[in-house]
Structure 1
Amino acid sequence: MVSTACTVMAAGSHTAQAQLVTGTSSPATTGNTPVTTGAVVAGTSSPAPNPVVPDQPETVTVRLDRARAELQPSLGAQVYRFGRGAIHTLPQADNAPLNQLFLQAPGVAQDSYGQIHVRGDHNEVQFRIDGVQLPEGIAVFGQALETRFAHDAALITGALPAQYGFLQAAVIDINTKSGRTDPGGELSIYGGARDYFQPSFAYGASSGRWDFFITGDYLHNRVGIENPTSNFNAIHDLSNQYHGLAKLQYTPDDTTRVSLIGGISNAEYQIPNNPNQTPGLGLSFNGVTDYDSRDLDEHQKEITDFAILSVQKQVGTLDLQSSVFTRYSSLYYSPDIMGDLLFDGISQTAARSVWSTGTQTDASWHVSRDHTVRAGFQIFGERNSSGTNSIVSPQVGEDEAGNAIYGDRPIGIHDGAGKTGLIYGLYLQDEWRILPSLTVNYGVRFDGVSEYVSSTQLSPRINVVWRPTSTTTLHAGYSRYFTPPPFEEITNNSIGDFANTSAAAAVTRNDKVQPERDNYFDAGIDQIVLPGLHVGFDGYYKQANELIDEGQFGAPIILSAFNYAKGQVHGYEATTSYEKGPLSLYGNVAWSRAIGKRITSSQFDFDPEELSYISNRWVHLDHDQRWTGSGGAAYSFFHQTAHPLRASADLVTGSGLRADGDVPNGRALPGYYVINLALMQTFKNTILKGTTLRLDVLNLLDRRYIIRDGSGIGVGAPQYGLRRTILAGIAQRF
């Protein structure tokens, strides 16, 4: 039986987790259910490597996966895990965008363009592939990483241990599929409403000490970007996307593993149109002053490629993994030249790219039964390039009231910039079992950035975990955070070039975006009430200096970073689950409040009145959502036969993001809830290895709900949630 319950465990060490959730090749991975772990059981410091019978590659793989997980334990943090079975059970399964998967975790709010916000932060989420952190990319729509790549995945948040740096709102840790964990092949066709068509393939195999896996898909639909209206279908919203991942592993001996991972993402989007809008700036393009917004023709292309080469080694009580990685990410926006100028005062062809290359090493030394010392470092260099070709109207004079008068013959302005920078961090920490029921994990990080600004910080961290009974786990932690400015969202473009044009900035100040520095506190409890019934509660508080936020300013869908001088985020999360036999249930609810005061960088992106109001008043962040919830249920019919039928439903609900009211971000948008339904019929005794039929209904009740209304600090166009969409597919194993 495979269920979707969110099991709140009195979390143990990675070994204990492997005992509680079976059918996995890694102790950090779970089998059938999303699993929340509030803390690690005290008195269970990381075990020394277990002896392995030579010439049994599967056993070696299990042990090396366990050792890799032990390099980066989530001691004291909040962890929400999705095993292979849980991913298959959720609506769309491997076809689901990665953000939809993690909306089922507590404290995760959805936003437009596929963004998620974890615990009131904007976009400070790091992605790790088999334990290796990828540098940030600049994809705006969708995700460059696919759910299809994951054998299992976890979202880690809270007071993070010292090995996690740079982006610390949450860590999305993906253990990729391999030829041993996911052997054999699969062909799948999936599609349905709105021209949705998604063929995919996967194949994994192993022979001796070699292991190979490859997967890819093509996605074509007419819901590439959220609809700017509440209508059933959007205008001009075609999307074509390609994704792929390949993984090759070699185990030369029982204590060594070499792996090479490569991934690609190539996506093209039409920008959907909001009809019945008319230009209101009074501009003319060679005598044309009117334009039907229904006919706008804007496009955006996004490319992301990455590669990771890792070597993992065990020497006695020492575990080590060292990796080199590279990531290239680019974005190209093509405007509607006449329409963009008349509506926005500027028509801008924009290109931006960032190329990051670096290395990461993590080591774990089991000093004694009560002490495990971990240390490591990360360093990567980045090259950021940007270029724009802008069409604007020149100012030719002023009227009697002092308002600008613009000519009807546009002019072109070219601007380009590039920058090379460096980010680095190193850490040292000790997991100390003070008493059989009490463990302390304490450490320190040193981080630095040398890009548009240069800065460093020493960051202490500590987590205390106490297990007074076998069913109760309490934890509390403090982490000092240092978040470098997002290099890919900052440019040196000149503001002065646009003076005396229709794109002139009302504010010409442009202070540099600074690193964010936080004090983060977290505490919680996890309780096994009865066998199969788990509950958990967690609270957190973040005090930030130079809080980093992001927004869309202008027609190109490119996010730009800015700072609030001060920020505060605090909230609470509760989660529960129940699982018995073929039935599983889970639910999460979270309350959050995120505020900031005084914008201290990128001021030219804001109106003078907006800057003045925020200069001495607290305002809600645009992504602040007071209440967020998720839940689900699953039941497996005929689960003891060769043709099980699994029915599941999940729920996502929220009280609404912020929008402008009488003051900036002064009101909340209407609340919403969305129910998705999935049916999956498996035939295990067909001629080949198995056939799976699935039917997914997204937004079952066809609820109309708004994500953004086009107002708010750094908010672009309106976006509405997806209306009812029926999708179906067939997958064949071979």
Structure 2
Amino acid sequence: MNVKFSLILAPACGAVLFAGSALANDNTSVSVTQDDSNVQLEAIQVEGRALSYYKEDETTVATGTATPIDETPQSVQVLTETLIEDQAARQISDLYRSISGVSYNNFSVVTMRGFEQDVILYDGLKGDPFSGFSIPQLFNISEIQVLKGPAGAIYGAGDAGGVINYVTKKPSYEQQNRLEVTAGNEDFLSGSIESSGPANEDASQRYRVGIYSSGEDSYRNNVEEENRIIDLGYAWDLDAKNTLSLQYTDIKQYITGARIRGIPTDDDGNFLTDISWNNNEKSDFQELDAQVFQATLDHNINSWLDSRFSARYFENKEVQNYHEIAELLDNDGDGNYDETVRQYRDRQEETKGLTLASSLVAELDDHTILAGVDLYHEVNDMLYYRAEGETNGVSNLSFTDPVYGQTNVSSYDLALRSDDRTILNRGGVYLQDQWRATDKLSLVAGGRADYMSEDFTDNTDSSNNLSYNDIGYSTRLGTTYELSKQLKPYASYSTGFTPQSAEDQQYSADGSLFDPEKSQQVEVGVRSYLFDNRLNLNFALYRIIRNNMLTDDPDEDEEDYLISIGEIRSKGFEVDALVDITPRWVANVNYAYNDLKVSETSDDGRNLANSPYHQLGVWTRYDFPSISSSIALGADYVSQQKNRDDQIVKPFTVYDLSWQTNWEDWKFQVNVKNLFDKEYAVSGFTETIGSYVGEPRRVYLSAAYDF
């Protein structure tokens, strides 16, 4: 643990210790004097502000049923709507500091407990409209649920690090209307209007309408961004036992000067040029057009049995025309790169997906039985042209004196790189029993079987066409126990799997199918509620093994052949604290330590990339009730990382500041992100592509009116 990290961790620990001291000395009764006599009043226990602002007591993400988090035998974090609003989070990357063990990897991909993770659910269903290279936006999101570790027993195929579930905003029984406008530096301007409430007199029918639009410039050359989201919802209580919910979301995003890559660095992590540099021309762009349709029917069959049927369909079209760094040049021979050879990529990708899911929940005395089945169908079409270097008309670009617009895209000699279609089908059945064995002991046991098939069609060469199918199994066993109202330990064993791609299956030397990558996690932890429930301290200790990674076959002369022997071991611990330091001062502190080891595979660089040993996130808020205001300070520390080429990505610490004031029906807010305007990289890719740059200081001023 280096000195800088110690200096950062010390104040956070000090805050928690100070809180403990303050809370330990906090009187739980009040003595008053009346008519010269002392009267001792009985204390009234009130839930602390931190727990009311930032804590959820139950969630569905871990078990598929509404389960108290204290009875969930696996690490779960929930980011509430209040926390999202306090941090003025517009996209998920704004919130990584508040999720222990999660850090930025690239675009929408994160590192979770040491593993790349890009599995995203919406209301527990597959169908990510931002799939590709767009980062999920949060306008229509009310809550973010994070399940740590393998989640195959409920969700089937997925990544070893965990899963992120976005809970969308739903129509409300009471009328709620909000108009919000935000302005900021880099010419940022956004506006939104939301209205939700009863559509008839008895509120058996309800609606939601939300519209969001934003535009901004960037610190990177040639970049501008526009976003628009339309979110519509309708809920209908058909009768006392049936509720139908419908939702439609339309998403459009247009970014000029994109796809925005990183900036190359030297081996010590120093940027080779100014962070405003961009390899893309003004005419380059990334455009996303997505629509989502979702329907859910909840049916109360009888007093002990409920059912749910859900369908989610999405269309996602992403068009990218952009320049990519292909090679770094040292023209003057001084040992420093000063120019890039560029590729131009014309890439169009269209994805359509449908999820159908049905489940039954039975309450049988001390048992809650969950049984379900789900099907997922996805069609992906990709068309990709590329030109590289001056011989194909693509000009080089200087690091020190970039001159844009030297060449015209219409003159490039573009070659077709791929024209293909992938059809994916997955289906799973699962069964889970949650047994409340005693008033203090709860047990969870579940298993799932999945069938998958994938067909790959190369429209340019039918000899490359591939098909395969396979079966995967996942399990989970877990227990929670209430030692006391203050201490609630848990333990679990969970497994998961990730299918091999159809493309890799063709490189088996004997023609047999590769088994899916398999992961298994052992986790123990304790949830604690100390000092009259004013300090909620959660601790989780885990070990994950991931097997069946593909690597080069040493027994074959041809390098293309693969074998399945690779292994990654990830182990670490996480500490999450919610604390009322005083009745007006609250804090949310998250710390994670992770140690990753890769063996028996030649792809160490990719698997070890962007896996920091230490992460610390702090968000602390102080209220001023007399003026209906609050001030908040955030800090985000990530220790040193490596990119895929073993170059250093420097550790960084950034601070944020927020001020809120409420006046009648108005809420005014100022957020300053990267308060001290630190220049840093959030993660690394390769020596050529470079490291992804953290945003310089951003200032946002917003006004929201509830009516």
TM-score range, shorter chain: 0.7 to 0.9
Using the TM superposition, give the Cα deviation of residue 136 of structure 1 relative to its aligned residue in structure 2, in angstroms. 7.4
In structure 2, the partner of 1:282 is none
> Could you give the per-residue CA deviations for residues 535-570 of structure 1, whole angstroms, max 9, x where no partner exists?
221111111124599xxxxxxxxxxxx998322222
Contact 2:147 2:162 in 1 (8 A): yes
Contact 1:70 1:364 in 2 (8 A): no
> Could you give the per-residue CA deviations for residues 81-115 of structure 1, whole angstroms, max 9, x where no partner exists?
23333333x221xx521232343121111234354
2:463 paired with 1:471: no
Using the TM superposition, give the Cα deviation of residue 170 of structure 1 relative to its aligned residue in structure 2, in angstroms. 2.8
2:136 paired with 1:139: no
Q: CA RMSD in A?
A: 4.1
Give the Cα separation in 1 of the matches to 2:61 and 2:437. 14
Using the TM superposition, give the Cα deviation of residue 264 of structure 1 relative to its aligned residue in structure 2, in angstroms. 2.0
Amino acid at match of 1:222: D
Q: Which moved more, 1:512-521 or 1:650-659?
A: 512-521
Runs of at least 5 residues in structure 2 that lack an aligned partner in the other structure: 1-14, 21-44, 265-276, 329-338, 393-410, 456-467, 552-562
In structure 1, the partner of 2:255 is 269
**Cα distance 1:519–1:239, how it changes in 2: closer, same or farther (>3 A)?**
same
2:622 paired with 1:632: no
2:214 paired with 1:211: no
**Cα distance 1:183–1:675, how it changes in 2: closer, same or farther (>3 A)?**
farther
1:718 to 670, 684, 691: 691
| 2:115 counterpart SS class | coil
Contact 2:182 2:190 in 1 (8 A): yes
Number of residue pairs the alignment of both structures matches: 592
Give the Cα separation in 2 of the matches to 1:582 and 1:482. 46
Runs of at least 5 residues in structure 1 that lack an aligned partner in the other structure: 9-18, 24-29, 47-66, 224-232, 278-290, 397-407, 496-509, 550-561, 600-613, 685-689
In structure 2, the partner of 1:568 is 569
Using the TM superposition, give the Cα deviation of residue 338 of structure 1 relative to its aligned residue in structure 2, in angstroms. 12
TM-score w.r.t. length of structure 2: 0.75
**Cα distance 1:103–1:471, how it changes in 2: closer, same or farther (>3 A)?**
same
Using the TM superposition, give the Cα deviation of residue 76 of structure 1 relative to its aligned residue in structure 2, in angstroms. 1.0
1:681 to 643, 648, 661: 661
Amino acid at match of 2:234: L
**Cα distance 1:587–1:659, how it changes in 2: closer, same or farther (>3 A)?**
same
Using the TM superposition, give the Cα deviation of residue 620 of structure 1 relative to its aligned residue in structure 2, in angstroms. 5.2
2:595 paired with 1:593: yes
In structure 1, the partner of 2:669 is 694
2:167 paired with 1:175: yes
Using the TM superposition, give the Cα deviation of residue 409 of structure 1 relative to its aligned residue in structure 2, in angstroms. 9.1
2:585 to 583, 586, 594: 583
Give the Cα separation in 2 of the matches to 1:162 and 1:381. 20
Using the TM superposition, give the Cα deviation of residue 524 of structure 1 relative to its aligned residue in structure 2, in angstroms. 0.6
In structure 2, the partner of 1:127 is 121
Give the Cα separation in 1 of the matches to 2:583 and 2:157. 42
Kindly report which structure 2 residues correspond to 1:315-330, keeping only aligned pairs within 5 A, or say none.
315=301, 316-330=303-317
Using the TM superposition, give the Cα deviation of residue 336 of structure 1 relative to its aligned residue in structure 2, in angstroms. 5.1
In structure 1, the partner of 2:54 is 33
Give the Cα separation in 1 of the matches to 2:497 and 2:262. 44
Using the TM superposition, give the Cα deviation of residue 68 of structure 1 relative to its aligned residue in structure 2, in angstroms. 6.3
Give the Cα separation in 2 of the matches to 1:633 and 1:338. 41
Give the Cα separation in 1 of the matches to 2:538 and 2:616. 14
Amino acid at match of 2:649: L
Give the Cα separation in 1 of the matches to 2:158 and 2:209. 29
Contact 2:432 2:446 in 1 (8 A): yes
**Cα distance 1:634–1:414, how it changes in 2: closer, same or farther (>3 A)?**
closer
Give the Cα separation in 2 of the matches to 1:394 and 1:412. 14
Give the Cα separation in 1 of the matches to 2:120 and 2:322. 31
Kindly report which structure 2 residues correspond to 1:72-111, keeping only aligned pairs within 5 A, or say none.
75-88=72-85, 90-92=86-88, 95-111=89-105
Contact 1:221 1:240 in 2 (8 A): yes
Amino acid at match of 1:458: Y
Give the Cα separation in 1 of the matches to 2:380 and 2:504. 8
**Cα distance 1:619–1:32, how it changes in 2: closer, same or farther (>3 A)?**
closer
Using the TM superposition, give the Cα deviation of residue 346 of structure 1 relative to its aligned residue in structure 2, in angstroms. 4.3
Give the Cα separation in 1 of the matches to 2:223 and 2:512. 36
Give the Cα separation in 1 of the matches to 2:171 and 2:165. 19
| 2:686 counterpart SS class | coil
TM-score w.r.t. length of structure 1: 0.72
Kindly report which structure 2 residues correspond to 1:40-55, keeping only aligned pairs within 5 A, or say none.
none
Give the Cα separation in 2 of the matches to 1:646 and 1:195. 26
Give the Cα separation in 2 of the matches to 1:383 and 1:668. 38
Contact 2:152 2:474 in 1 (8 A): no
Contact 1:39 1:474 in 2 (8 A): no
Runs of 4+ in 1 over 6 A off after TM superposition: 5-8, 19-23, 36-41, 71-74, 273-277, 337-342, 393-396, 510-514
In structure 2, the partner of 1:152 is 143
Give the Cα separation in 2 of the matches to 1:678 and 1:186. 21
Contact 1:120 1:624 in 2 (8 A): yes
| 2:496 counterpart SS class | strand
Amino acid at match of 2:425: L
2:701 paired with 1:728: yes
1:163 to 151, 154, 159: 154
Give the Cα separation in 2 of the matches to 1:433 and 1:296. 61
> Could you give the per-residue CA deviations for residues 426-478 of structure 1, whole angstroms, max 9, x where no partner exists?
11011112233211100111112101542112222101111121211111111
Give me the identity figure in percent.
15
> Could you give the per-residue CA deviations for residues 634-674 of structure 1, whole angstroms, max 9, x where no partner exists?
11112xx6x511211111110133126xxx43x54211111
